[in-house]
Structure 1
Amino acid sequence: MNRIAPAGRLLAVAAVASLALTACGGSGGDTAAQKSESAAPASSAPASAAKGDGTLTIGDVLPQTGSLAFLGPPEFAGIDQAVKEINDTGGVLGKPVNKIHTDSGDTTTNIASQSVDKLIAQKADAIIGAASSSVSESIIDKVTGAGLVQFSPANTSDKFTTINDHGLYFRTAPPDRLQGRVLGDLIAADGNDTIGILAMQDSYGSGLADQVTKTAEAAGAQVVERVDYDPKAADFSADVAKIKAKNPKAIVLIGFEESAKVVQELVKQSLTADKYKWYMVDGNMSNTNYLKMPKGTLKGVKGTIPGAAAPTEFQKKLLAIDPKLTNYTYAAESYDAANLIALAAQEAKTDDPAQIAKHLVTVSKGGEKCADFKSCDELLKAGKDVDYDGISGPIEFNDAGDPAIATIGVYQYGADNKYDATKALEYRKGNIEG
């Protein structure tokens, strides 16, 4: 199944806003026998299709280093918790699930590609990752070309909806067109009629900026300046100066770790959050990157993060795995990714990646509702069809491997330069049609 959209096919998002003030309350992996296998370029089918060996092996390529390293801990913890529960239940195909953690680095390194080589050699059936859309784009040919399932908990670039992936790519995070629409609507609803955008220049930043612009301008606002910057730049003074020259009411920051330097430059040029309304996105909504800044630097700043907030009991389980967790971004999506892969293998009665991919769709919709591996597994063993609805929300894959329904949370920073990861100002739900 190639994810190439037919000519003239339109992608539409219907977002329904619902206001709710809601309080919510990694480690190394095992190794396997070495196997030499080379990846092939994308084509209508994998040149070298992986076959199951009777043991489900889930690898991951997620950020231990690089510009998204703050997202790694909750993602690893989510996978670890899922695999623990799966193996406590009896595993998959009568055997414990094998997990292997590896680093993705970021686009400035070749770490992700090296990690994929390692996972292919260790007979991984499915790879969870990467977190960065650009990193995933750089490895997808190698992963799916080798016949493995690639399943990202955090990729939001619209490119993956139509990418040639041999039918092997899935994600629990919604495409940017939904987050961009929610953010654009939010900015306009807050009374901002002029907007400046500072976006990192890659598929994630530019794509998200495009959707924010489209939505905000449809709501009557005007993007008076947009700067797509080099995230590896040593200095952002000229970029910020362009925004300052247009004096917008709202300033949108779309980026990763480098956003801390952009924030410092905004403050230096007197475009502070107490005078202008700042907005951020999942890539820079961090509770660690801004702590060294003066108190109040980010007070009142709003940002969007795909996914529902992690429930209290789930957070407690994750903290038992990693007591140092400070945020839970994409933890639920990672947990759900591992559970869905395991359920697909269990339903298919094989760890053959091609069969797992086919059954990922069937275990996500149309059957009897279940919310964890144990309850779903019991239904499968009773010969029933299952519909896994996870911690990240209802999951139903469309033909492109995207979640058909998604939730976006809106969060706000306090005077301590942190946002409360357990409480959103509101959640906005949307249907993704494509």
Structure 2
Amino acid sequence: MSVFAKASATRSARTVWTGVAIAGVSALLLSACSTGTPAPAESESPAASGDALPIAEGERDLSLPLGTILPQSGALAFLGPPEEAGVQLGADDVNAAGAGISVDVTYRDSGDTTTDTATVSVTDLLSQNVSAIIGAASSGVSKTVIDQIVAAGVIQFSPANTSADFTNYNDNGLYWRTAPSDVLQGEVLGNLIAEDGNATLGMIVLNDSYGTGLAKFTKEAFEAAGGEVVAEALFNEGDSSFDAQISEVTAANPDAIALITFDQAKIITPALVGSGFPGDKLYFVDGNLADYSKDWAPGLVAGSKGTLPGLDVGTLGDFTDRLKGVDPSLTDYSYAAESYDAVVLLALAAYAANSTDGTEIAKYLQQVSGGSGDGEKVTSFEDGIKLLDEGKQIDYDGPSGPITFDENGDPTEATIGIFQYNDDNTYSRIGDG
């Protein structure tokens, strides 16, 4: 079943998430506590009070410049192609509508936290007067540039950041994301591991806001379900040897091991299995759930499982085919839908605001997503524009699912997919958490 997170608060308030666990596990009340920069008290926006901002009738003539800082290199480079394809498809759909707003995208690399690539890219994009920057994929990378972006009055819109730290971040109302907080994925992952009959758990964890946050929520859920985390070994981005972490975790003899990493799993996994740990007792996450058919011996992790936010691509009609039209080489679709929806939501909000100024667009993002409690349901950019042209409110749901932003810029509904690895080291969806 789907996992839903409901929240209603101002950006300066603490958000309470209600996560519905997988079947057979009681609902948990979770608090998304931020360890990021504390937000000062701010006045409540019109959308927060239920009074949506008005939308002027009539046609527009807007040119919306967007930039991206998505991973073309670094530890999350495997996510770059589907995310950039999603952005391009969104821009293509906006431009094909001929609705008085056009989108022009400038693509730049985010790299990872071992480089200053993201800062260089953001500086370049800001010099080109973009209205919004889509990215980064890595929460750690976003933390290095968020202050620079929002200080310029530009929207930062991530399709893949999941750190709970961003919920209450001091972002001047300019940070938004279509990916759910790791409060949700951690709950589903922890409960999944327990439901599979594992009593003890070891974790190998990337030491950044993404890794430690997801590990925290996974541990809380697993132990609330009756399990015990017996080892948690940290490593830093840029590390190339993981022998110490593998030895530390396997020495505790856990029933299962969760790998909360990025592409470091490509190295860690064969070493773990080579040390004698069973490959089918490993658990992967969105940062490393990937096609390893060209990297590992057949059957290495057959039967192992993982979690990834997002709807089943098999239910998205021709969306994946259209993505392949943008990039025929795609074999992974992680966060492509969330990237597509980021572009469409930005274009709809710009149209509603009749402005390409980042601060003006941000005022309308919540209400075009249905977060103000008003609006007619639409599932395409073209249908949304027709209603906005008539001065009507809309509630956009795209291929990433219901979005419905809260006042923190977080989606309040999400589905966490559960996947299992096949004999050829590809993975298949087996259910939703």
Per the TM superposition, whether the score is higher than 0.5 is: yes
- Structure 1 residue 229, shift from structure 2 partner: 1.6
Q: Which residue is 2:431 aligned to?
A: 426
1:292 aligns with 2:295: yes
Q: Which residue is 1:309 aligned to?
A: 312
CA deviations 1:183-230 (Å, max 9, x no partner) are 001001111001111111110001100111011000000001111122
1:347 aligns with 2:352: yes
Aligned residues: CA RMSD: 2.0
Q: Given that residues 67 and 106 in structure 1 are in contact (C-alpha distance below 8 angstroms), is that contact kept between their aligned partners in structure 2? A: yes
Of 279, 282, 285, which residue of structure 2 is paired with 1:281? 285
Of 176, 182, 197, which residue of structure 2 is paired with 1:191? 197
SS at match of 1:170: strand
Of 331, 337, 340, which residue of structure 1 is paired with 2:336? 331
Instruction: Give the number of equivalent residue pairs.
Output: 389
Any residues of structure 2 matched to 1:26-425 within 5 Å, and which? 54-91=62-99, 94-274=100-280, 277-288=281-292, 291-310=294-313, 311-365=316-370, 366-420=374-428, 424-425=429-430
Alpha-carbon separation, structure 2, partners of 1:267 and 1:16: 30
Amino acid at match of 2:205: A
SS at match of 2:248: helix
SS at match of 1:17: coil
Alpha-carbon separation, structure 2, partners of 1:377 and 1:101: 25
Amino acid at match of 2:223: E
Alpha-carbon separation, structure 1, partners of 2:67 and 2:23: 36
Alpha-carbon separation, structure 2, partners of 1:10 and 1:81: 33
Amino acid at match of 1:427: D
Q: Which residue is 2:31 aligned to?
A: none
Q: Given that residues 199 and 228 in structure 1 are in contact (C-alpha distance below 8 angstroms), is that contact kept between their aligned partners in structure 2? A: yes
CA deviations 1:380-406 (Å, max 9, x no partner) are 112211000111110101111000111
Alpha-carbon separation, structure 1, partners of 2:274 and 2:258: 17
Amino acid at match of 2:399: I
SS at match of 1:13: strand
If the length of structure 2 is used for normalisation, what is the TM-score? 0.86
CA deviations 1:282-333 (Å, max 9, x no partner) are 0000114x52211001111100001112214000000011000011000000
Q: Given that residues 61 and 129 in structure 1 are in contact (C-alpha distance below 8 angstroms), is that contact kept between their aligned partners in structure 2? A: yes
SS at match of 1:426: strand
Amino acid at match of 1:333: E
Q: Which residue is 1:35 aligned to?
A: none
Identical-residue share of aligned pairs (%): 46
- Structure 1 residue 259, shift from structure 2 partner: 1.1
Amino acid at match of 2:164: D
Q: Given that residues 62 and 102 in structure 2 are in contact (C-alpha distance below 8 angstroms), is that contact kept between their aligned partners in structure 1? A: no
Alpha-carbon separation, structure 1, partners of 2:263 and 2:135: 18
SS at match of 2:276: coil
SS at match of 1:83: helix
Alpha-carbon separation, structure 2, partners of 1:119 and 1:182: 37
Q: Which residue is 2:51 aligned to?
A: none
Q: Which runs of 5+ in 2 are unaligned?
A: 1-8, 25-36, 42-60
If the length of structure 1 is used for normalisation, what is the TM-score? 0.86
Moved over 6 A (4+): 41-45
